[in-house]
């Protein structure tokens, strides 16, 4: 089994991913963490020193490296849907789940914006959010609305539909 969580920053991919993996007895993989480890620096630094394009290359490489993984929950970065090849790779033997969350809720939830270069400016973040919604929906095998729900509720909703 391979479950891939997609959605905007702050939609709960990491927290839901951890609980989901624990409940289903699966491993958990955080794509951003793999990128940070590989480069030896945080996301802000990668964006600032090497540029977003380099970050996207690394993200695509990781998506490719994960094709053979099994029995895992994969938490993606919010921009993974930008490139079709990423989703194609992640979907091999896997099921994508979109954690759909409103921008209002995301603003409330996202207190840690320190290492999120694309969330520093709220106006451009909202534009990015709007431009991404269709992509998440199009690429989702399952959509779970998360507004007003706890991590446990979202997790159980996913489990009940798998």
Joined together, the tokens standing for residue 134 give 């269709």
CA separation for the pair 46, 120 (Å, rounded): 15
Total of residues contacting ligand S3P (CB under 6 A): 10
Site track for ligand S3P across 82-121, x = CB under 6 A? ----------------------------------xxx---
Q: How far is the CB of 102 from ligand S3P (least distance, A)?
A: 15
Measured CA to CA, the distance from residue 149 to residue 102 in angstroms comes to 12
CA separation for the pair 67, 27 (Å, rounded): 15
Q: Is 79 in the site for ligand S3P (CB under 6 A)?
A: yes
Of 12-31, binders to ligand S3P (CB under 6 A) are 13
Tell me: does residue 78 bind ligand S3P (CB under 6 A): yes
Q: Which residues of 64-77 are buried (b: 16+ CB within 10 A; e: fewer)?
A: eebeeeeebbbbbb
Q: Which residues bind ligand S3P (CB under 6 A)?
A: 9, 13, 32, 43, 77-79, 116-118
């Amino acid at each position: 089994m391979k479950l891939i969580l997609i959605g905007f920053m702050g939609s709960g991919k990491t927290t839901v991913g951890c609980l989901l993996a624990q409940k289903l007895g699966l491993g958990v993989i955080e794509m951003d963490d793999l990128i940070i480890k590989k480069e030896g620096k945080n996301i802000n630094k990668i964006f600032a020193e090497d540029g977003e394009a380099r970050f996207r290359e690394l993200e695509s490489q990781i998506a490719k490296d994960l094709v053979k993984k099994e029995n895992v929950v994969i938490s993606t970065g919010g921009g993974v849907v930008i490139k079709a090849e990423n989703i194609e790779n992640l979907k091999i033997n896997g099921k994508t789940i979109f954690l759909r969350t409103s921008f209002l809720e995301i603003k409330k939830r996202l207190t840690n914006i320190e290492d999120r270069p694309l969330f520093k400016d709220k106006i451009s973040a909202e534009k990015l959010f709007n431009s991404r919604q269709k992509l998440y929906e199009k690429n989702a095998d399952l959509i779970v609305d998360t507004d007003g729900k706890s991590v446990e509720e979202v997790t159980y909703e996913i489990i009940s539909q798998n």
